[in-house]
Amino acid sequence: MMGLSQQQLARLIGVTYQQAHKYERGLNRISAGRLFEIAQVLGVPVSWFFEGLSTATEAQEVSPRQRMCLELARNFALIDNEKHQEALSQMARALAAQSQLDDPEVKSGEPH
């Protein structure tokens, strides 16, 4: 989401790529100190990592659209070439702009 690869984030927080990968996948726990450091590097408050968590113990169902967005973000983060990331980002912006133009409700000014 922040436009950093796992390698870039790992360098910024002083861990190996493998360790950053384990943190992201939830394979290793993150200490409070490390979480604070990651928040500082990303320029977000520590609470940002907990936004949207519910107190309910049951798992939230992920919609197909949410799953697709997560997969897109995950795959984007795996692209090491910054030029390729920028090209993909530009393509997404162009497609989003075209979708806005093609949406009849947007053309008429009516809310969704």
Task: List per-residue pLDDT tens for the chain, 112 residues long.
Answer: 777 788 888 888 889 989 988 988 889 888 898 888 888 888 888 888 888 776 655 556 778 888 888 788 888 888 889 899 899 989 989 998 898 888 766 555 555 5
Alpha-carbon gap, residue 98 to 3, rounded angstroms:
23
- Tell me if residue 54 falls in helix, strand or coil: coil
**1-49 has which CATH code?**
1.10.260.40
pLDDT of residue 71: 82
Domain boundaries in the chain? 1-49
Whose tokens are 């008429």? That residue is 108
Q: What is the DSSP letter of 91?
A: H
Return the ∠ at Cα 67 (arms to 81 and 60), rounded to 5°. Answer: 135
